[in-house]
């Protein structure tokens, strides 16, 4: 909804009328991203927050994943625990799919990310003092191989360092 209470469809990372990943907050070098449970993120993942209007992007790393603190969730969880588990035999009627929406909101996650760099004109910079737009930014995972390419690291290290999350060897 916009400031006048009208429903507004977002066009960038929102599909089918609802967002799955959304920029929530930036404080210092920490970025918080709201994610629904259908999106798969893990600690250590690198993400690009690209602001199409500014022509810039932030490169962030997920350092923690928490449940989103949504008002009323604690009350709803307590209500579920206190209800009897005896259900009436028959059809479960939920024509507005309210239960599935409540379940999705209860499982919503907050990705705590640290800013690692910025991208301007396809090149890494340390200019991270700007603020990306919440409505015009897209958020995507970026593979380690792409990070190496951006950092101009060719992978020819003198020792074997291990494996990346994508199971490629790191030298």
- Exposed (0-12), middle (13-18) or buried (19+): which is 35, by Cβ within 10 Å? buried
Q: Note the pLDDT of residue 149.
A: 84
Q: Note the pLDDT of residue 159.
A: 60
Walk along the chain (171 residues) and give the pLDDT tens digit of each residue.
333 343 333 333 333 333 588 999 999 999 999 998 888 899 999 999 999 888 899 999 999 999 888 777 677 777 777 665 555 555 566 566 666 677 778 788 999 999 999 999 888 889 888 899 998 899 999 998 888 888 877 766 566 667 787 887 776
Q: Note the pLDDT of residue 71.
A: 74
Q: Note the pLDDT of residue 1.
A: 34
Q: Note the pLDDT of residue 103.
A: 74
Q: Note the pLDDT of residue 158.
A: 63
Q: Note the pLDDT of residue 10.
A: 31
Q: Note the pLDDT of residue 61.
A: 96
Nearest residue to 136 via CA among 61, 57, 26: 57
Q: Please tell me what DSSP assigns to residue 155.
A: S
Q: Note the pLDDT of residue 98.
A: 62
Domain boundaries, the chain: 14-143
- Length of the chain (residues): 171
Q: Helices (DSSP H) in 30-171: which residue ranges?
A: 73-82, 98-106, 144-150
């Amino acid at each position: 909804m916009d400031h006048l209470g009208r429903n507004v469809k977002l066009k960038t990372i929102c599909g089918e009328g609802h967002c799955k990943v959304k920029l929530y907050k930036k404080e210092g070098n920490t970025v918080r991203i709201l994610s629904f449970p259908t999106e798969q993120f893990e600690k250590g993942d690198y993400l690009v927050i690209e602001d199409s209007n500014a022509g810039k992007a932030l490169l962030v790393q997920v350092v923690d994943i928490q449940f989103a603190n949504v008002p009323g969730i604690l009350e709803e969880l307590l209500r579920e625990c206190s209800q009897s588990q005896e259900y009436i035999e028959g059809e479960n009627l939920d024509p507005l799919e309210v239960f599935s929406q409540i379940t999705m909101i209860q499982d919503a996650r907050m990705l705590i990310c640290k800013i690692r760099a910025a991208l301007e004109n396809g090149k890494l910079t340390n200019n991270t003092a700007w603020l990306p737009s919440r409505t015009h930014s897209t958020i995507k995972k970026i593979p380690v191989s792409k990070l190496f390419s951006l950092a101009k690291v060719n992978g020819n290290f003198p020792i074997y360092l291990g494996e990346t999350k994508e199971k490629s060897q790191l030298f």
